[in-house]
Amino acid sequence: MKLLIERNAQDLSSTAARLVARQVLTQPRSVLALPTGDTPRGMYEVLVGLEQRGLLDLSHVRAFNLDEYLDLPEDDPRSFRSYMVRHLWEQLAAPPADWFIPSSNPADEQGECAAYEEALCRTGGVDLAVLGIGPNGHIGFNEPGTPWALGMHVVTLAEATRHKEAARFGGLANVPRRGISMGIKTIMRCGRIVLLASGEGKAEILARALLGPVTTEVPASVLQLHPWLTVVVDQPAAGALTTP
Ligand code: GLP
């Protein structure tokens, strides 16, 4: 595992974007697994800036989002689909033609999971996955207790996850109760993984994930077993990683 501790969220974003850019520059048709959330927003901004300056072409990548809410209209501004369009795809002069995000409202949920796995399988697998970490240690929407042996699957969101999103949805009652997520099995098959964590609020869970036992109770802890993991954090998120 490589650990990069950056001064602040801005530097974290630049470093994360550099890792993605390096992957795409060396392999323009890379298969990327991409996260949503507050943490990667800056990374997307930097990637857009690189494209605008003619330094990066994302049009040939094959992109897969890690997860999505369920029981939400696809065009709801809070869906991860809307997030990706807003923060990345519509900002690019040449967005990729090949982008797969599960529907937040599929007619056939199991069919949607199977279609995602099939599309991923056709590409030959993910070259680089960028992950965030939830306050309870989730990666994608793999909540504590999720078995490691799952591919794309429907999940019941943990209460901690729903609480974190309450303000964005105008109250807890409006936060979806379910999601759909790339499973740990699929995540662990990604060639390279970059894990991002920003802010003091992530310090304790990050320390548990990286230094604690590997357990399904802290889903991100499984990443300790991945052969190519780079963790990019800012100083506040690194707060519990060092002994005083
Ligand atoms: C959401 C997403 C995760 C993301 C996590 C952290 O629940 N499903 O994929 O990594 O939140 O988000 P943030 O960066 O906003 O803390």
Cα of 138 vs its chain's centroid, Å: 10
Give the tens place of pLDDT for each residue, 87-128.
Answer: 999 999 999 999 999 999 999 999 999 999 999 999 999 999
* Ligand 1 touching residue 127 (CB < 6 A): no
Whether residue 242 is contained in a domain is answered as no
pLDDT of residue 242: 73
Specify the ligand 1 atom closest to the Cα of 132: 10
Give the tens place of pLDDT for each residue, 165-180.
Answer: 999 999 999 999 999 9
Asked if residue 243 has pLDDT above 90, the reply is: no
Whether residue 223 is contained in a domain is answered as yes
The stretches of the chain forming alpha helices (DSSP H) are: 9-26, 41-52, 80-87, 109-123, 159-165, 184-188, 203-211
* Ligand 1 touching residue 80 (CB < 6 A): no
The chain-wide mean pLDDT, for the chain, equals 97
Give the tens place of pLDDT for each residue, 30-46.
Answer: 999 999 999 999 999 99
Residues listed for the chain = 244
89 CB-near residues (< 8 Å, 6+ apart): 95, 99
Whether the Cβ atoms of residue 150 and residue 183 lie closer than 8 Å to each other: yes
> What is the number of structural domains in the chain?
1
Supply the residue whose CA is at minimum distance from atom 5 of ligand 1. Answer: 134
Report the separation in Å between the CA atom of 60 and the middle of ligand 1, taken as the mean of its atom positions: 26
* Ligand 1 touching residue 102 (CB < 6 A): no
Q: At 7, is the pLDDT very low, low, confident or very high (cuts 50, 70, 90)?
A: very high
Measured CA to CA, the distance from residue 59 to residue 215 in angstroms comes to 38
Specify the ligand 1 atom closest to the Cα of 133: 10
Give the tens place of pLDDT for each residue, 185-202.
Answer: 999 999 999 999 999 999
Q: Give the domain extent around 226.
A: 2-125+137-233
State if pTM tops 0.95: yes
Average pLDDT over residues 17-31: 98
Whether residue 88 is contained in a domain is answered as yes
Whether residue 244 is contained in a domain is answered as no
Whether residue 8 is contained in a domain is answered as yes
Whether residue 174 is contained in a domain is answered as yes
CATH for 88: 3.40.50.1360
Whether residue 131 is contained in a domain is answered as no
Report the separation in Å between the CA atom of 117 and the middle of ligand 1, taken as the mean of its atom positions: 21
Average pLDDT over residues 19-23: 98
Give the tokens for residue 242: 């060092």
Whether residue 18 is contained in a domain is answered as yes
Measured CA to CA, the distance from residue 85 to residue 95 in angstroms comes to 10
By percentage, how much of the chain surpasses pLDDT 90? 99
* Ligand 1 touching residue 66 (CB < 6 A): yes
The residues pairing with 67 across neighbouring beta strands, listed in sequence order, are 181
pLDDT of residue 122: 96
Report the separation in Å between the CA atom of 173 and the middle of ligand 1, taken as the mean of its atom positions: 19
